[in-house]
Amino acid sequence: MLLSILASIALFIIDSRSDYFFPFHSVLSTIVYPIQASASMPNDIASWMKGYFRDRKQLQEKNAVLEITNLLNHVRIQKMKALERENVSLRELLGSSFYLHERVLVAELLAIDLDPFSQQVIIDKGRRSGVFAGQPVLDATGVMGQVIEVTPFASRVILLVDPSHGIPVQLNRTGLRAVATGKGLAGILQLKHLPHNADVQKGDLLVTSGLGGLFPAGYPVGRIASIYLPQGEAFAEIIVNPAAKMDLSSEVLLVFPALRQQKTVKSYNLFR
């Protein structure tokens, strides 16, 4: 009994002081991965059945809708290319750099519940696909989080809404920089340490600022949902709704920053 108490406390201390124990933790995660994968199986089967038994008319309708969105997106990308070129030349004039050609990799979430009090998910791509710890994770609408642990076949992603996660952001309208941290269960973010007179309005878009070097600049993080100025407090309480659909996305994008060339499997260019 005493032995197991000592062993658990030792494990706990070493693991929370992190890095020393990293290999052991990832070995354990690899061992338990089959259990996690099989727990996600009922959900996979259900979605496969749903796809298999869909009738022809529905598929045709969906196809038509998708073709239109595809066309629209193509038009937008054309405009985007022109803007990008303009942006690069402007930045060259200013003498600052702009990172282009980030590569992405598509991964799927495992449909399983983890500890309900920490906001993490497991994705089905790991070291074999070139995923690395600290890699930014996006979905179709915004930034979702970052990879915190990599095993050969899967990796663990911490979401923006986890209370222990912070992301450097910038107000798109004014360029004001701040850090957005998670609030846990509620699925919202907050901006800490902004003074009462900061130029922030409800509905302002927040994008990644690229400071800190982890997240690429310019991806949407969320919109300001409410601003509360408590009397007698030094800082405003600003709540942000995340742009990414944290509980709805089943597919995510892993971004490979342009400077870091990794061996990539089935990855392709965002802006050809």
> Does 39 engage in binding with another protein (CB under 8 A)?
yes
**127/155 Cα distance (integer angstroms):** 8
> Does 250 engage in binding with another protein (CB under 8 A)?
no
**56/91 Cα distance (integer angstroms):** 50
| DSSP three-state, residue 80 | helix
| DSSP three-state, residue 144 | strand
Tell me the closest approach of the beta carbon of residue 169 to another protein, in angstroms. Answer: 23
> Does 49 engage in binding with another protein (CB under 8 A)?
no
> Does 43 engage in binding with another protein (CB under 8 A)?
yes
Among 152, 163, 166, 218, binds another protein (CB under 8 A): 163
> Does 231 engage in binding with another protein (CB under 8 A)?
no
Q: What is the DSSP string of 183-232?
A: -GGG--EEE-S-BTTS---TT-EEEE--TTSSSPTT-EEEEEEEEE--TT
Produce one character per residue of 58-87: b if its CB has 16 or more CB atoms within 10 Å, e if not: eeeeeeeeeeeeeeeeeeeeeeeeeeeeee
| DSSP three-state, residue 6 | helix
- Closest by CA position to 143, among listed 125, 165, 114, 117: 165
Among 45, 185, 229, 265, binds another protein (CB under 8 A): 185
Q: Given the rule CB under 8 A, which of 11-19, 57-65, 69-77, 230-238 is the region that contacts another protein? A: 11-19
> Does 246 engage in binding with another protein (CB under 8 A)?
no
Q: Which of residues 98-137 bind another protein (CB under 8 A)?
A: 111-118, 120, 122
Among 5, 93, 94, 248, binds another protein (CB under 8 A): 5
> Does 248 engage in binding with another protein (CB under 8 A)?
no
CA 249 to chain CA mean position, Å: 11
Q: Given the rule CB under 8 A, which of 21-29, 83-91, 210-218, 253-261 is the region that contacts another protein? A: 21-29
Tell me the closest approach of the beta carbon of residue 182 to another protein, in angstroms. Answer: 11
Q: Given the rule CB under 8 A, which of 29-37, 65-73, 139-147, 254-262 is the region that contacts another protein? A: 29-37
Task: Give the per-residue SS3 of 89-138.
Answer: HHHHHHCCCCCCCCEEEEEEECCCCCCCCCCEEEECCCHHHCCCCCCEEE
List residues near another protein by CB under 8 A.
Answer: 1, 4-5, 7-13, 15-16, 21, 25, 28-29, 31-32, 35-36, 38-40, 42-43, 111-118, 120, 122, 156, 163-164, 184-185, 247
